[in-house]
């Protein structure tokens, strides 16, 4: 057994403590760098990116596996309500489109199930996407669904995303993130909750 003198032992302990503090500070700075103070307005894609990072963290893409991204809906009704005038009323639609982008960038093969059989033309535009069941093309095999729910709150909405096995309905991955209400519009002074109007007092 090698004997270590007390001054040398004290120096080793201090050095180890400094290394530990440095590592802790580095981890803290890295954590802060991953979640900077980003303004809400116009940055829905940033919040979608962070949500996707958590959702796909433990999932590996495969060329043989196909995903279908389905709309995100309110948790209480499970369907989109156009009469709900919440500032984030269109968040479910945007999350569906954003998750298609995020999944594709990460190498996942996503199915576009709203694709029609033919290009549809009119006097002002042309399109290939439709919600008309009779015009939809045949859907290829889908192995996993990407979807989620929204829980609206006064200052935003809690988004719960999940990846579901299409065959056995197992949830293979899940993620949760809060989306602030100012993503699409400036903070409103008047809001609607349960059919009633509420006025927010200005803090200026």
Residue 12 has pLDDT above 70, yes or no: no
Q: What is the pTM of this model?
A: 0.71
pLDDT grade, residue 154 (50/70/90)?
Answer: confident
- Please give the domain boundaries of the chain with CATH numbers for all domains: 38-199 (3.40.50)
Nearest Cα to 87, choosing from 194, 204, 182, 198? 182
| Higher-confidence position of 171 and 25 | 171
Kind of pairing between the strands at 109-111 and 66-74:
parallel
Tokens 């962070």 map to which residue?
A: 50
pLDDT grade, residue 32 (50/70/90)?
Answer: very low
pLDDT of 81: 87
Residue 136 makes CB contacts below 8 A (sequence gap 6+) with 113, 114, 115, 116, 117, 130
pLDDT grade, residue 52 (50/70/90)?
Answer: very high
Sheet of strand 66-74, all strands in order from the earlier edge strand to the far edge: 109-111, 66-74, 144-153, 156-165, 171-180
Q: What phi and psi, each to the nearest 5 degrees, are found at residue 183?
A: -65, -35
pLDDT grade, residue 21 (50/70/90)?
Answer: very low
Residue 204 has pLDDT above 50, yes or no: no
Nearest Cα to 102, choosing from 10, 189, 175? 175
| Higher-confidence position of 4 and 150 | 150
Across the range 36-50, mean pLDDT stands at: 85
| Higher-confidence position of 9 and 38 | 38
Q: Average pLDDT, whole number, for the chain?
A: 81
Spatial separation of the C-alpha atoms in residues 112 and 133, rounded to whole Å? 14
DSSP structure class, residue 78: S
């Amino acid at each position: 057994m090698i004997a270590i003198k007390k001054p040398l032992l004290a120096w080793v302990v201090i050095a180890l403590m400094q290394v530990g503090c440095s590592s802790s500070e580095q981890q803290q700075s890295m954590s802060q760098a991953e979640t900077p103070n980003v303004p809400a307005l116009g940055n829905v894609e940033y919040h979608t990116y962070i949500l996707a990072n958590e959702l796909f963290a433990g999932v590996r893409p495969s060329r043989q596996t196909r995903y279908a991204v389905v709309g995100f809906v309110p948790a209480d009704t499970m369907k989109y309500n156009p009469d709900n005038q919440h500032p984030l009323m269109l968040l479910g639609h945007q999350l569906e489109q954003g998750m298609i982008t995020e999944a594709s960038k990460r190498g996942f093969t996503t199915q576009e199930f709203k694709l029609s059989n033919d290009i549809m033309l009119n006097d002002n535009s042309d399109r290939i996407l439709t919600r008309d069941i009779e015009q939809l093309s045949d859907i290829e095999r889908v192995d996993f669904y990407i979807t989620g729910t929204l829980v609206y709150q006064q200052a935003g909405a809690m988004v719960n995303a999940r990846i579901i096995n299409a065959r056995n309905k197992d949830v293979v991955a899940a993620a949760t993130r809060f989306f602030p209400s100012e993503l699409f519009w400036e903070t409103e002074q008047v809001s609607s909750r349960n059919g009633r109007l509420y006025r927010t007092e200005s803090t200026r």
